[in-house]
Amino acid sequence: MSAFEEGTILVTGGAGFIGSAIVWELNRRGHDNIVISDRLGTDEKWKNLTGLRYMDFVDADVLLEAVEASEDCLGYVSTIFHLGACSATTETDADFLISNNYEYTKAMALWSQSIDARFVYASSAATYGDGSQGMSDTDDDLSKLRPLNMYGYSKHLFDVWAQQQGILDDLVGLKYFNVYGPNENHKEDMRSLVNKAYTQIVDTGRVGLFKSYLPDYNDGEQMRDFLYVKDAVKMSLHLAENPEAGGLFNVGSGTASTWIKLVEGIFAALGKEPQIEFIDMPEAMRDKYQYYTCADTSKLAASGYDGGVTPLADAVKDYVVEYLMPGKLLDCAGA
């Protein structure tokens, strides 16, 4: 019997990008014993919930109040996917990020311990900073990492806190790399380049990529580990179901690709010849920009994950043709 058949599955940030994809895949596997928590606000994130099957929706602030008061508001919760957070790498309100990303996660983690629920939370590859200290999820010396932005630091703080409390190995921390795919429209400026470049190409026939400001990288040849959201979800659910898995795990493709290669996949999916121009990077980003990320996924593989990774060109084509062109959502009913 799947671990997801026992008790309620709580998904915070369940209306968000990865959260809604987690619920979509759980539904696809026949599970609807799910409670979603989020802040819907005034954007159109609520659209990510259409077509999904779940038992209840709880506002994120209401959930936190109940958790802090130790109220039994959800019955028996067996698994918690804590994906709710501000994911804007450009957010400068440090107090907000500490409260929303760090303190909230601490409260949820301690609650999960008190009710003996499996706790799977979103960390981030942004915790690795410029990569000069490596990007290994097996290195226990977290204190040497130097995130480049406050978002990454807010995620790093929790990883370090959990380790200091001696509970990190009881949890599963997902260090997501550059995830892209359907249901990210509400993220606005934080949408993946695939999403933004598709619109540019359709509107103008061209796409703009940032110039490089390091001599080791030519324009457009900065490299990232790009991961399709469907693969990220498979990896996340595997780790959640594996009782032997604990601690931090890199969730990426294990391959670094250039921005040029990424957008060439978009042009190919649209049947167009690549037309790329290089544009100035905003000065505020230049000292906080990651020029290279690549996930070491050996720990994930050692946990027994054998679901593979969709090749970049195939994943980009699926996203463009099946979701961006028709403007669909991840609809579990039609999957």
Distance of CA 38 to the CA centre of its chain: 15
All residues at 6 or more sequence positions from 309 whose CB lies less than 8 Å from its CB, including other chains: 227, 228, 231, 253, 254, 255
Q: Where are the beta strands (DSSP E) in the chain?
A: 8-12, 34-38, 56-59, 77-82, 118-122, 172-176, 178-180, 207-210, 223-224, 226-228, 247-251, 257-258, 276-279
Q: Strand order in 34-38's β-sheet?
A: 56-59, 34-38, 8-12, 77-82, 118-122, 172-176, 247-251
Burial label, 281 (beta-carbon count in 10 A; 0-12, 13-18, 19+): middle
Among positive and negative, which fits the CA dihedral 198, 235, 309, 154? positive
User: How many alpha carbons lie under 13 Å from residue 67 in its C-beta half-sphere?
Assistant: 25
CA distance linking residue 260 with residue 266, whole number of Å: 10
Q: What's the full length of the chain, in residues?
A: 335
Start-to-end CA distance of the chain, whole Å, equals 23
CA distance linking residue 204 with residue 183, whole number of Å: 23
Q: Which residues pair with 156 in a beta bridge?
A: none
Question: Active-site positions?
Answer: 151, 187
